[in-house]
A and B are shown apart, each in its own frame.
Chain A
Amino acid sequence: MLKHIGEYLLLMKQVFSKPEKKKILLSQIMREFDSIGVDSLVIVMIISLFMGAVTALQLAFNLSGNPVVPTYTIGYATRETIVLEFSPTIVCLILAGKIGSRIASEIGTMRVTEQIDALEIMGINSANYLIQPKIIASLIIIPVLIAISMFLAILGGWLAGIFTGLFTSHDYIYGIQSWYHTYEIVYAFEKTFCFAFIISSVSGYFGYITKGGALEVGQASTKAVVNSSILIIIFNLILTQLLLA
């Protein structure tokens, strides 16, 4: 494990060296926006909409008939669940699977088919050329996906109320506006930035160190997803303790 940490840190030193050409870096980042962001949009939208709806329905089920807790609490609790945990953590775990496996398998395939060697022979810093644009693009586009996820999950909760009649639109909207603290959004996006970095850099690392053939590319992809997910869970706890305690 220490070997992996050491190799990861050395790779990051290579990744964050000066790029060969800023214009090429920009075009690479734009390409990654498409493959990391646009390609993940549909899954994020579907999951968020349905998870928001389910969260609101479960809260409504638990609170129904309770004379003490007002109905607008459903909106408030749905918002808190989504903003604090569901969107930044659970959606990032899903993205670790979606984006992490793609990054690791793409770079791993380039390694085993000698495309990375070809870059090195040309005198190009391959780690910088391949991984840096993915990290930068992830740091920009994943927070955007999470913002969309938050909006759609809250919308999903509202739609669930409208269609089932378990709570009124007025109560839900009143609830999601209650006891609002801007810091909760700041906390959510601080976590998201950290998780975006973990997903892209850890997956990039496991792809980059791939040796062998197709089997090893698959293994690298699995390792990238498993390790990114574990790190997200661990850093979720650490960041929550540091930022909210």
Chain B
Amino acid sequence: MIEVRNISKSFKNTEILKNISIKFEKGKNNLIIGQSGSGKTVLMKSIVGLHNVDKGEIFFDGQPFLIMNDKQKKKIRREIGMLFQGSALFDYMTVEENVMFPITMFTNQSLEEKLERVNFCLSRVDLENANKLYPSELSGGMKKRVAIARAISMNPKYLFCDEPNSGLDPRTASIIDDLIAELTEEFQTTTIINTHDMNSVLKIGDNIAFIYKGELCWQGNKTEILNTDNEKLNSFVFATELTKRLK
């Protein structure tokens, strides 16, 4: 489980996150939703330590992350898998090398063992025959799947996904959602997903936190979100023609 308590973060004089407290449960898809610019990515990057927060506390399974020394933080980070919005695959490495990279860095496994693990991860994301391709040769959906394979290569306890569906067609986006949900259940990871895709919200939203202008505005699940009285959330959820009809 990951818990953030009273997190605030400013850039120059603009307050991006305002006193946010959320608990993210293990084995569940914890979604952070909100409009573009609401602070979702800043919150996620603050949790993993890519941004230094101004105040507040972050706990990974009860361990206070912000007061840890560098060695302790590194240990926690090695239990994190992260899927970035743009996939962030290393351009000069093949798919196989990308997925193998964390294993090579942090284990002393033989090449056969590493390849076995890489092939397992690639088979989990349905990319069995892409080992020798470079990121420039992959489609957007394939890149996301390779990034997921790399994220799970070290059996992470915590899985972070920043806009996993951005730039993907609805069918591919749905496949990525299913994949993340399956992996969360299979490996019992604490999964945090940033999204503004309502299909994802309604499909895999076990726990949902709605951020509005840097503040935590609402918390619930995929059933509750359709019946809320929260005006700000309603204007976000029912903004598309599809959700309006659903309502």
Contacts and interface: CB of A to CB of B under 8 A. Distances in A.
Interface string A105-126: 0000110011101101111100
Contacts, number: 51
A173 to B, nearest CB: 46
Contacts of B105: 20-21, 24, 122, 124
**Range, interface on chain A:** 10 to 19
Nearest to B101: A122
Interface residues of B, number: 24
Interface string B164-175: 000000000000
The interface centre, meaning the residue of A20, A113, A118, A120 with most chain B CB atoms within 10 A of its CB, is A118
A24 B2 CA distance: 33
Nearest to A124: B105
Contact of A115 (B75, B88, B102, B106): B88
Contacts of A110: 90-91
A121 B90 contact: no
Contacts of B48: 121
A117 B88 contact: yes
Given A24-B105, A121-B50, A124-B105, A114 B78 contact: no
A118 B77 CA distance: 11
A24 B105 CA distance: 8
B236 interface: no
Contacts of B84: 114, 117-118
Interface in B74-101: 74-75, 77-78, 80, 82, 84-86, 88-91, 101
B219 interface: no
A115 B104 CA distance: 17
Contacts of A123: 73-75, 77-78, 106
21 contacts: A20-B106, A21-B104, A21-B105, A24-B104, A110-B90, A113-B88, A114-B85, A114-B88, A115-B88, A115-B91, A117-B45, A117-B84, A118-B90, A120-B77, A121-B80, A121-B82, A122-B77, A122-B78, A122-B105, A123-B106, A124-B105
Counting from the closest, the 7 A-B pairs by CB-CB distance are A123-B77, A123-B74, A114-B88, A118-B88, A114-B84, A123-B78, A121-B82
